[in-house]
Amino acid sequence: MTRIWITLGIIWFGMVLSAQDTGNKTEHTVSFKSQYIQIKDEFNYGLVNRGLNLVGEYTLVSHIDKNIFSYQAELGFGANYNQGLGLIWSLKPFDFFYGFRINNNPEMPIALGPYLAGYYKWQLYPELQSGHMFWISSYELGPRFQISLPVKSRILHVSMSTSLASLNSRPEPRIEQYYYSLTFSDFVSNPHSNMTFGSVNLYNHSDLRVELTHPEKGFSFAYEFEFMGYFNAPAFRYMAHSINLNWILGYKKSK
Amino acid sequence: MRLTLILLISLLLSACMKDDPMNQAFVSFEPKDIDDGLIISNPLAEGIDPEKLTSVYNISYNDETLWSLRSLLVFKNNKLVAEAYLKDEKDITTRHLIWSSTKQVMGILTGIAVDQGLIASINDPISAYLPEVLNAYSEKAGITIEQLITMHSGIDYNNDGVGGQTDKVLRQIPDNITNFVLARPMRTAPGTDFYYNDGDPQLMSAVIQSAAGKPTDEWADEVLFSKIGVRNYNWVRYKDGTTLGGFGIETTPRELAKIAMCVADSGRFNDQQIVSAEWIREMISVKVDLSGDYKFGYYWWYDATRNIHFTWGHGGQFAFIVPDQQLIVVMTSIPNTQGDYQIQADEALPLVDHIIDACY
């Protein structure tokens, strides 16, 4: 696992540096997402817990010639409810995307390329499951499609992605137990255990983001829809509707 | 384009997931013969109105306050006449936690230990069996066995919340569970008042373990479980090897029923006296006349208004004994629920009332 992290780090630094060396535009954006979430975990008796998740997200976008490289990370906390309170934490440590420009229309650029992302989602249901922790973690790979459309004086950005292959960790089918399975080290060790490789028949994570920007303003709004499903036992479904507020921290043009 | 986008977003916004049904559809309460030693009968043969019993099961499947109910079994005249597993048919043989219903088993075992002379008298101080008490916890040397089994030790052991002692045990923080309980401060002098907690039965397990010379669960298998046909169970030990006493048994509703049947039959099971009738009589009689609806014996609960003795485990694990009707009702529930989400005796007993009403 350490090797994977080191490799991803080297890739990231390499891509950021090469992007900046080419003298193309790099943007840093901070987003605040307010999400309405629905979680259905087979471990939680088939209940759908609904609630609010607040997420902070950082995005780096570099335009390399006509192509796009982006890196994203996010951290979220939330609570949901159904026959008892649920608490959730989520972490996306990395989301790399390299988009190849597939048209020559400067008014409506379209990019398509692969993305590689990692997600961790922890759940705790203190009223229904005492001190037992559930989680799903995934490293996923798939295509992402981006298009920008002029709408009067604004630009509408639409981004869609779906995972095609993934490595996932879910808890083992759990036998009820007296002793709690929750210690601090479990937050780190459990989500890296029992990793299973699969394709869309095992896991799918799809995301649609629609963002309206104004070229002369440093902030924008976006709507995002996200679905995450793990289809083997213990099955897991996650659905989120987000309203995002995005602040562009600055533009950089080197050379 | 704009219309397409609006339609798409509207469609996505309306996307939502639905709960799975909490219970299976109710089909029948006819018991299955799985060759586990239980005698199978039917309501009519044992004097229960089948239609009224059906309506009881309909309530159990549909009453929102009973959403976490996992099983409902009815025994009349020592025969299983009705059973249903609301969540999963496999629960007929799948072990689940019975939490504090373990305490009532500790009550029976204390009696067997007395019957066998392993414990000379329930008036003995625990220091007679746990020498470390004299050495390190002298203020607790005078606590008696009877005070342990009536929750009168006076030890300040808190079951509840994140800061409670049971929480630390469930996280396996203490190295030695007996010393962990003994090291707690005293809240009152021994014998002063009733204080329901997991520490007292945990010390009782340590006493039995010391007296029997083997872990309580191992000894219990020899003197109780093997004799009443309870084979589908596990009794969890703490990491230091001590059998848990305040909770710790994992078993099935059918196996829990056998324990209740032994108590209901004055300590007999299949014509064999497992524990003396004198002890059973003492164990289920009122030793602590609590102000509420329920009284307390030697770890056994008693509803004086209804004349029902019962085990009571966290989350809603019950075995009700109704001596007037030769009736036993077992209910088990999703066990790790907290607060309002667990089935309390107040919610379970009305269902027993309905079953009593169905008896001729």
**Is B99 in a helix, a strand, or coil?**
coil
Closest residue of A to B100, CA-based? A178
B345 touches chain A (CB under 8 A): no
| The total number of structural domains that make up chain B | 1
CB contact under 8 A, B17 and A82: no
Residue-level pLDDT at A84: 87
B353 domain-assigned: no
* Tokens found for residue B114: 């007395």
Whether B18 shows a pLDDT value over 60: the answer reads: yes
B42 touches chain A (CB under 8 A): no
Residue-level pLDDT at A16: 52
How close is the nearest chain A Cα to the Cα of B122, in Å?
29
Whether A11 shows a pLDDT value over 90: the answer reads: no
- Fold of the CATH domain A2-248: Lipocalin (2.40.128)
Of A45, A223, A237, the CB nearest to B17: A237
**pLDDT single digits (tens) A65-120:** 889 999 999 999 999 999 889 999 999 999 999 999 999 998 899 999 999 999 99
Contact A62, A19 (CB under 8 A): yes
**Tally of CB atoms within 10 A around B274:** 21
What domain range includes position B272? 96-287
A83 touches chain B (CB under 8 A): yes
Residue-level pLDDT at B347: 95
pLDDT band at B78 (very low <50, low <70, confident <90, very high): very high
What whole-number distance in Å separates Cα of residue A224 and Cα of residue B80? 56
What whole-number distance in Å separates Cα of residue B302 and Cα of residue B310? 6
B121 domain-assigned: yes
CB contact under 8 A, A131 and B16: no
* Tokens found for residue A176: 């009820």
Question: The CATH number of the domain where B156 resides is what?
Answer: 3.40.710.10
Range list of H helices, B171-234: 177-182, 199-212, 216-220
Per-position DSSP letters for chain A, written without gaps between them: -HHHHHHHHHHHHHHHHHHHHTT--EEEEEEEEEEEEEEEEGGGTT-EEEEEEEEEEEEEEEEETTEEEEEEEEEEEEEEESSSEEEEEEEEEEEEEEEEE----TTS-EEEEEEEEEEEEEEE-TTTSTT-EEEEEEEEEEEEEEEEEEETTEEEEEEEEE-SEEEEE-PPPPPP-SS----HHHHHHGGGSS-EEEETTTEEEEEEEEEEE-TT-SEEEEEEEEEEEE-SSSPEEEEEEEEEEEEEEEEE---
Q: What mean pLDDT comes out for the span A107-136?
A: 91
Provide the percentage of residues in chain B whose pLDDT is more than 70. 96
Residue linked to tokens 């629905």: A38
**Is B96 in a helix, a strand, or coil?**
strand
* DSSP annotation of B360: -
Residue-level pLDDT at A252: 46
ipTM value of the model? 0.88
Whether A255 shows a pLDDT value over 50: the answer reads: no
Residue-level pLDDT at A254: 39
What whole-number distance in Å separates Cα of residue A74 and Cα of residue A93? 7
CB contact under 8 A, A128 and B334: yes
Contact A234, A173 (CB under 8 A): yes
B155 domain-assigned: yes
pLDDT band at A214 (very low <50, low <70, confident <90, very high): confident
pLDDT band at B7 (very low <50, low <70, confident <90, very high): low
B174 domain-assigned: yes
B127 domain-assigned: yes
B112 domain-assigned: yes
Of B16, B19, B97, the CB nearest to A47: B19
**Average pLDDT value for chain B:** 94
Contact B251, B233 (CB under 8 A): yes
Which one, of B341, B109, B130, B117, lies nearest residue B248 by Cα? B109
Whether A18 shows a pLDDT value over 60: the answer reads: no
Whether A50 shows a pLDDT value over 70: the answer reads: yes
**pLDDT single digits (tens) B193-240:** 999 999 999 999 999 999 999 999 999 999 999 999 999 999 999 999
Provide the percentage of residues in chain A whose pLDDT is more than 90. 63
B341 touches chain A (CB under 8 A): yes
B238 domain-assigned: yes
